[in-house]
Structure 1
């Protein structure tokens, strides 16, 4: 599929990570009781980078977990994916402020599945949401607390997020 536009390069992504890290710290008055949970696949490197940036700023390590939401998808019967059992962080996020992290929010269904997965495995004090890109078109009333970039798109367009850890380079494109 042909790229229509490059939206963010490596420097822009790094600036967003710095800003969102500071916003998470500010909103929560520090990082006491804050944990980051990256939604697989591209929410994970984003969460790890946010964790590293928060550690640079605060001088303290922040726990970062991975979340596989496959079993919680509402379209599991329509996709050809073999679901895997979640690596549980049961007890690790109880009474903590969980910041769910994903690369793109679109319909809200992925976030709903992530909320179900976290709620089934733990009892957090609060759940917040951080996304790199908010492209609109919500089907479920979910709004992120931290947004890297609002990017109005048509339903026919694809937002392609690439991270070095997975793709070998950092870039956000519209296709």
Structure 2
């Protein structure tokens, strides 16, 4: 298994910080916007963003929740899945929601997340924030509003997001195995509200 660094610890922190300022630009102090982390790995990013926003804005009055999508996945009956917990003690009716996940790949998990959040009301708007967008592997027409990093990858590769809280270090790696070892890969910084070259 070959591991290519995409974000080291310093770049990881700077990327999360940039995402926070992009949210502030669009949502002011975020007192009226729901930050909704998708279980399991999107929750780690959502918690980090909430903490960083609290530091920047000097308040912690955020509308925040954690969303389990297990029973909304389209592969639910094909394999055994262990459900996580949903922690959302508010209605999403007519609220702005930022759905947060660590990696956007095929788009199927995000579709499940959209289905799951509608159980809590009809938001006025939903935006998507991801740390990494694997932009050339989409299976559904889903595009993020906020992206930390674009990654161009091929079959046989996967993106591993590691967190200080669980793996002991903040970093993002592109893992390659088999025949893909010698293939070229690249990662490109993403700006705010990018226009994907391919969906």
Checking the alignment, whether the CA contact within 8 Å between 1:89 and 1:122 is kept in structure 2 is: no
Rounded Cα–Cα distance in structure 1 between residues aligned with 2:138 and 2:76: 19
Checking the alignment, whether the CA contact within 8 Å between 1:90 and 1:122 is kept in structure 2 is: no
Superposed, 1:1-175 pairs within 5 Å as 2-61=1-60, 62-83=62-83, 86-87=85-86, 89=88, 91-136=90-135, 137-175=137-175
SS in 2 for 1:102: strand
Q: Deviations over 1:129-168 (max 9, x none)?
A: 1000001211111110000000110022010111122222
Rounded Cα–Cα distance in structure 2 between residues aligned with 1:140 and 1:111: 9
SS in 2 for 1:158: strand
Gaps of 5+ in 2: 176-199
Rounded Cα–Cα distance in structure 2 between residues aligned with 1:70 and 1:158: 21
Q: Deviations over 1:21-51 (max 9, x none)?
A: 0001101233131121111111111101111
Aligned length: 173
Rounded Cα–Cα distance in structure 2 between residues aligned with 1:64 and 1:3: 37
Gaps of 5+ in 1: none
Q: Using the TM superposition, name which of 86-95 and 38-47 deviates more.
A: 86-95
Q: Normalising by the residue count of structure 2, what TM-score does the alignment of the two structures yield?
A: 0.81
Cα RMSD (Å) of the superposition? 1.6
Rounded Cα–Cα distance in structure 1 between residues aligned with 2:170 and 2:160: 11
